[in-house]
Amino acid sequence: MSADARDNEADGPEASARAGLLREIEASGAFAADPRWRDAFAAVPRHLFVPYYYVGGAGGYERRWGESPDPRTRERWMRGAYEDTPLATRLRDGVLLSSSSQPSLMALMLAELRVEDGARVLEIGAGTGYNAALLSYRLGEGNVTTVDLDPEITESARRHLEEAGYRPAVVTGDGARGVPERAPFDRIIVTCTLTTVPRAWLAQCAPGALILAPLATGLIALTVRDASHAEGRFLETAAYFVPLRGSGRSEPEEVVLAGVPRRARDNDRFRFLLALTRGTLDPQEAASLWEREGMPGRERYGITLDAGHAWAWLDEPEGPYAWPLPEAAG
């Protein structure tokens, strides 16, 4: 089947599926902080960034492919590309290396960046290139840099972006070290889970810049004062991403929850506290604190980095509850 024939076949289903996705994102409230991102999601075709993806099932992963000779398979691929779900795009020995994030979560994160026209943005974790395309549509491709450690990921992201008509800077490198040659940045958006905040990012930010990053199953929004100081709170929403690879990554230890009451053990907000304080509070101490303080959600926690150290806290940076964050290796 020719490319033109495939494009004609996709026009109808793609338009309907993309409109449905937009309705879902709007209904989630993800655009609330900046409704202008709706135009980006309406304009950028997600299916160009996921020419194939994997759907998990009882028998393992099923590969859905836009080039399949079976029209029913192509239809399932197109519908799936516009579902409000994350899509696994790269596996190695059964381990997920890269994915296209859930669109409503992407929309919320982009809106929470609160960008102004002309803002320079660094994305940590290139993924499929879809997020960089959305940023390029909104801010102009010259203001967007995306970086990833894996050259296969950056090459495919660059190819997808060019097919969609965007050419931001796509860099192969250790995201934990940033991209100093493209600095300074007004915003850094991270699409992989951190265990700490790399110091190199602060030095590459303009004063007043914002870093938005997944950490401990939450999203931290840090305002950067200078190369040594940043502070901010977590958003209310949960966030689960593929871990950062490279010098900024440390392996978490297994947590044993024996002795923790079920009401805490099964609660997502308690598990966030466990992840945030891992290595500092044991699970029973964490459960006692969490219940004593009214079972706080993510929005009551924050992070501070200064020239001497970094710490997470509950309610206030200088309050009674504070826990050290690890320093990034390298």
pLDDT at 95: 72
Q: What are phi and psi of 122, to 5 degrees?
A: -110, 125
104 is catalytic: no
Q: What is the average pLDDT across 143-166?
A: 96
- The strand pairing partners of 214, in sequence order, are 219
Choose the final residue of a domain: 234, 254, 278. 234
**Contact yes or no for 39/74 (Cβ under 8 A):** no
Are 282 and 207 within one domain? no
User: Look-up: residue for tokens 């810049």?
Assistant: 209
pLDDT of 25 > 60? The answer is yes
Say how far apart CA 113 and CA 109 lie, in whole Å. Answer: 6
pLDDT band, very low/low/confident/very high, at 246 (cuts 50, 70, 90): low
Q: Which residues contact 257 (CB under 8 A, 6 or more apart)?
A: 265, 283
How many domains, the chain?
Answer: 2
Q: Which of 98, 100, 101, 136 is catalytic?
A: 101
Q: Which residues contact 313 (CB under 8 A, 6 or more apart)?
A: 301, 302, 303, 304, 319, 321, 322, 323
Q: In terms of DSSP H, where are the helices of 97-235?
A: 103-112, 130-139, 151-164, 199-203
pTM > 0.75: yes or no = yes
- Indicate the burial class of 208 (C-beta count within 10 angstroms; 0-12, 13-18, 19 or more): exposed
Residue 255 resides in a domain = no
Residue 173 resides in a domain = yes
Can you say whether residue 88 is alpha, beta or left, with left for phi > 0 and alpha for psi between -120 and 50 degrees? Answer: beta
Average pLDDT, the chain: 90
Are 228 and 298 within one domain? no
pLDDT tens, residue by residue, 209-233? 999 999 999 999 999 999 999 999 9
Give the range of the structural domain holding residue 317, as residue numbers without chain letter: 262-324
pLDDT at 123: 98
β pairing state of 144-148 and 169-172: parallel
pLDDT tens, residue by residue, 36-50? 999 999 999 999 999
Angle at 225 (CA atoms; ends 221, 226), nearest 5 degrees: 120
- The strand pairing partners of 139, in sequence order, are none
pLDDT of 96 > 90? The answer is no
pLDDT at 320: 95
Residue 245 resides in a domain = no
pLDDT band, very low/low/confident/very high, at 328 (cuts 50, 70, 90): low
Are 161 and 290 within one domain? no
pLDDT at 241: 87
Per this entry, what is the length of the chain? 330
Query: Mapping DSSP to helix (H, G, I), strand (E, B) and coil, where does residue 135 land?
Result: helix
- The strand pairing partners of 95, in sequence order, are 92
pLDDT band, very low/low/confident/very high, at 55 (cuts 50, 70, 90): confident
Say how far apart CA 320 and CA 67 lie, in whole Å. Answer: 58
Residue 83 resides in a domain = yes
Q: What percent of the chain has pLDDT over 90?
A: 74
pLDDT of 176 > 60? The answer is yes
Residue 145 resides in a domain = yes
pLDDT at 99: 82
Residue 229 resides in a domain = yes
Residue 124 resides in a domain = yes
Q: In terms of DSSP H, where are the helices of the chain?
A: 3-28, 37-43, 71-81, 103-112, 130-139, 151-164, 199-203, 262-265, 268-276, 283-292
Beta strands in 50-127 (DSSP E): 52-57, 60-65, 87-92, 95-100, 121-124
Helices (H) and strands (E) counted in the chain, each on its own, are 10, 14
